[in-house]
Structure 1
Amino acid sequence: MNQFLYETHLHTKEASACSLSWASEYIAPYLQAGYAGIIVTDHFFNGNSSISRSLPWDQRIQQFSMGYEHTKQAGDEAGLSVFFGWEHSFGNDEYLIYGLDKTWLLSHPQIMKWNHQELFEAVDRDGGLMIQAHPFRERFYLDSIQLHPTVVHGVEAINRENEHENDRKACAYAKRYNLSMTSGSDIHDASKVGPACRGMAFNYPLQSIGEFVEAVKQQKGYDLIAEPERIAKPQQETTTIPIYLYEPESKVREIAWQQL
């Protein structure tokens, strides 16, 4: 059976302050690695964005979209599909948004003031997909893990930049709440494209980001590209930062990861 591989989590230097590579630098490495396409998910203005916050909204969106647009142009010329998304931050927790476009962002400047519920309702209403990125990641700049199972379509269960145990917990969490799962490299450096990259495999080529959205929502039509040990037996019995689970009606409680 033919497999068509897609990168789902990628940052460009045009719009993400933490990226080391320009959009066009990703095309050749992903083609050489056998990928059929990539989804550009630059950090939005509430995250590690390189776009000036002082610009008017429309100019900010125009500049933000350059990462995708430059990648798309280079991809079209070389034969690599390129789709649009972004990574939305609430501080401790971040979300990958797929299926909406620059026009949608231009008409929704209020997005910067939305809470989780408001963002999810708008994304869902307009046919998009909201995935919590690397939900169990532990880093020095994070003081807690925030889980919102009722206002996402799914979670990024496999992330190349995670520790294996982070991914194992994410997979357990997704299964506990029957959430869709995605896999991505969270890549910021084109020189790191290669066998270690993560992503998703379909048995048909994606013609649009909409096909990706529908496949993930339906939890079918794809396989996670993952090393088996990433979701095998526990290696770390505790987390070093607290886990907060946000339940319906704005209830929140601290939990142990074993409760998932």
Structure 2
Amino acid sequence: MLIEMHCHTREHSACSHIGALELIERVFAKGLQGVVFTDHHFLWDPLELARLRRQAGVPDHFLILSGQETCSAELGDVLIYGARETFARGTPLARIRQSAPDAALVWAHPYRKQRLPTAAKLNHPLLDAIEIFNSNHTVRENSRGLCDWHRHRFTAIAGTDTHGADYAGLYPTIFDHPVKTIDELALEIRRGRCRPFFKEIPRAGSKSQVTEVTFGAKGQDEVRERIIIQTLDSSYKWRSAERAHKIMAAIAAQGFSEGRFRVPRAIDEDPATRTLIQQGLRGKSLFDKLLKAPVEDGQHFVRLAACWLARLHNGRLQLTPAGEFAEREQKRLENYVKRFREIDHPHTRRAEEIMERIAAEEQRLGVEQPELLIQGHGDYHPKNIFIGQDNLDNPNTLFVAAIDFESSFRLPPAFDVGCFLAQFRNQFFRHPQVLENCPEAVFLDAYLEHRETPAADFLRQVELYRARTNLGIAAFLIKVGLGDSADLWRVLVEAEQALTMVDGASSGQLPEAGAG
């Protein structure tokens, strides 16, 4: 059973702005099976609860019960389920337990206002459970409650602490067995047969522990809170991830926080535990979407991805130092070739020649067109682009969002475009129907249509960075033990072909991008 365990009514809690009848209706509409009023130092009369049931018209199986919230002497606010009397502010826990030996005592919102409850208090002998999720916790505080629950393995519940209509039923508790009365509910808590209702999914993360958490039930409005919790295992990795976190927050502030073009919202960071929290996205990567999308939809998704990138580049943001890209780029190119040398790969010399050509061209661009450098994504490809929809019944709520900003620098805009085109071909090489349905012109034309004043030699630069990305893909294949694969040969050839196009553009053989 899903039950809202912590809510306040306008009738008996001065802090609440929602009436009991509307609260019942909201919780029922959310798909829950019951609600427990927990007004401050007050217990509802059973006859009043019966009257509310008749007015609400909810089914007989929907529970409408009453507990109370009391401010205890030792721990502050405590939820009490199953007592027959109310308790005044400042009552000691021992006195409550003595008067109501069969009641369940739950520490309410113990992490609120950045409190850090000790293990001893979380396992207090007079407590039956801890409320780890609460709308009066920040996201960081809810995540700390989650971590402590996993670490100390106490009984936990969730409670919305509802005081208004908009968020009623957001943090329900699930009970393993059906209950019908407040006494049965208290017994289930005391026996540990309940837990917060949420979905927790570990995700791939080579540099960190990453968990996606979704709170609550879907309900009719489909509004559920999703967060990504990332905990880094070293100071070096923390600095890189924190840098990306700040870049993402700055981009969001420039018009990418909502609407059709977005980045995940940077919610919180905790240097002490090297933990970052960001908004979770409802949707799938562009890569996954294109594997199953009809041709028209797939091309629409690709055009949206191109528009996202053009919008970022049009902002001409300058969030990181101007010289950082050139410094990092030279090291990365050298590391790519180093992987060939380390295994004495037969194509080492070809990789060296490709790298030397790329480095020389990049150096020339940096000298001749230093004004090109604007904040880019740095690793823009189908697996780092999400397609989502806020409301599945409304296609106008479709959005595109980019993730993973650890490679974001001030760089030439053509870098991101060349990276996308090379990675698109490589990622879908085993899925030729996608390459056929979504030729690269779909992306490139949409980008150029929405890009403000690209460089005169923009297409030449795109080919340069296509070659550079293919060299990086080849080095990655060596890293994962695929140095002898046909794919490595293919991407090296494609890098050489792209550089030939660069030469062709120098000779006037490649059309140039116009302004607009």
Normalising by the residue count of structure 2, what TM-score does the alignment of the two structures yield?
A: 0.35
**Alignment partner of 2:33: what SS?**
strand
Alignment partner, residue 77 of structure 2: 94
Provide closer, same or farther for how the CA distance between residues 210 and 67 of structure 1 changes in structure 2, counting only shifts above 3 A.
Answer: closer
Provide closer, same or farther for how the CA distance between residues 116 and 193 of structure 1 changes in structure 2, counting only shifts above 3 A.
Answer: closer
Q: Does 1:10 align with 2:44?
A: no
Cα-to-partner distance string for 1:127-164 (whole Å, 9 max, x where unaligned): 0011001111117xxxx666533231110011133222
Cα-to-partner distance string for 1:219-243 (whole Å, 9 max, x where unaligned): 22x442225336944542459xxxx
Q: Is the 8 A contact 1:72 1:83 kept in 2?
A: no
Matched AA of 2:40: H
CA shift, 1:70, in A, is 4.0
Counterpart Cα distance in 1 of 2:176 and 2:30:
17
Alignment partner, residue 81 of structure 1: 63
Q: Is the 8 A contact 2:44 2:66 kept in 1?
A: no
Cα-to-partner distance string for 1:73-94 (whole Å, 9 max, x where unaligned): 2225422311111111148731
Alignment partner, residue 226 of structure 1: 198
Matched AA of 1:86: Q
Q: Does 1:117 align with 2:72?
A: no
Provide closer, same or farther for how the CA distance between residues 128 and 90 of structure 1 changes in structure 2, counting only shifts above 3 A.
Answer: closer
Q: How does 1:95-244 map to 2 (within 5 A)?
A: 95-101=78-84, 104-105=85-86, 111-112=88-89, 114-123=91-100, 125=101, 127-138=102-113, 148=121, 149-150=123-124, 151-193=126-168, 197-202=170-175, 204-220=177-193, 222-226=194-198, 228=200, 229=213, 232-233=229-230, 235-237=269-271
Find runs of 4+ consecutive structure 1 residues off by over 6 angstroms. Answer: none
**What is the identity percentage for the equivalent residue pairs of Structure 1 and Structure 2?**
21
Alignment partner, residue 254 of structure 1: none
Q: Structure 2: which 5+ runs fail to align?
A: 201-212, 214-226, 232-268, 274-516
CA shift, 1:11, in A, is 0.2
Alignment partner, residue 22 of structure 1: 19
**Alignment partner of 1:89: what SS?**
strand
Matched AA of 2:171: R
Counterpart Cα distance in 2 of 1:68 and 1:118:
25
Provide closer, same or farther for how the CA distance between residues 200 and 165 of structure 1 changes in structure 2, counting only shifts above 3 A.
Answer: same
Q: Is the 8 A contact 1:13 1:67 kept in 2?
A: no
From the two aligned structures, give the one with the greater strand fraction.
Answer: 1
Cα-to-partner distance string for 1:89-145 (whole Å, 9 max, x where unaligned): 1487311110113xx33xxx6x5553233334443x2x0011001111117xxxx66
RMSD (Å) for aligned C-alpha atoms: 3.0
CA shift, 1:205, in A, is 3.3
Counterpart Cα distance in 2 of 1:219 and 1:72:
29
Cα-to-partner distance string for 1:8-64 (whole Å, 9 max, x where unaligned): 0010011111100111111222221111110000112xxxxxxxxxxxxxxxxxxx4
Flag the structure with larger Rg.
2
Q: Is the 8 A contact 2:10 2:16 kept in 1?
A: yes
Matched AA of 2:22: E
Counterpart Cα distance in 1 of 2:148 and 2:140:
12
Q: Is the 8 A contact 1:134 1:162 kept in 2?
A: yes
**Alignment partner of 1:183: what SS?**
strand
Matched AA of 1:225: F
CA shift, 1:198, in A, is 1.1
Provide closer, same or farther for how the CA distance between residues 187 and 69 of structure 1 changes in structure 2, counting only shifts above 3 A.
Answer: farther
Counterpart Cα distance in 1 of 2:68 and 2:9:
11
Provide closer, same or farther for how the CA distance between residues 231 and 182 of structure 1 changes in structure 2, counting only shifts above 3 A.
Answer: farther
From the two aligned structures, give the one with the greater helix fraction.
Answer: 2
CA shift, 1:206, in A, is 1.8
CA shift, 1:216, in A, is 1.9
CA shift, 1:191, in A, is 3.6
